[in-house]
Amino acid sequence: MSRWGLLHSGATLLYSGARIGDVWPLVPAWSPLIATPEGPLYEKTPTDQRIEADFRLIAQQVLAQPESDDPVEIEARTDRALRTTIGLNAVSQ
């Protein structure tokens, strides 16, 4: 367990998701999801499917490495995965 009370993988996935949310507006392939849909959606759009697939690829890369409690290391791993998956150089702000 990590110091946050979650399994390392759960804490790492939460962080990776937050990091993806931070860079979301910078990714052209994800930008259509920023707009609010005009009505209910009954199935996933291609953009929804793309972000889910990209998240899975990023998560697999980050979790493939040894566990770490160091947030700086997890951020660096997530940024490397963002770079290799979507070509985004997500520099920590």
* Whole-number Å distance between alpha carbons of 32 and 78: 23
**Beta carbons of 14 and 31 less than 8 angstroms apart:** no
Q: Per-residue b/e over 9-31, b at no fewer than 16 CB within 10 Å?
A: eebbbebbeebbeebeeebeebe
The dihedral over CA atoms of 53, 26, 77, 67, expressed in degrees to the nearest 10, equals: -60
Model pTM greater than 0.85? no
- Going by C-beta distance under 8 Å and a sequence separation of 6 or more, which residues neighbour residue 49? none
Instruction: Work out the percent of the chain whose per-residue pLDDT is above 90.
Output: 22
Run of H or E residues at 74: helix 71-86
DSSP reduced 3-state for 62 = helix
Q: What is the pLDDT of residues 27-68, one digit of tens each?
A: 877 776 666 667 777 787 788 888 889 999 999 999 998 888
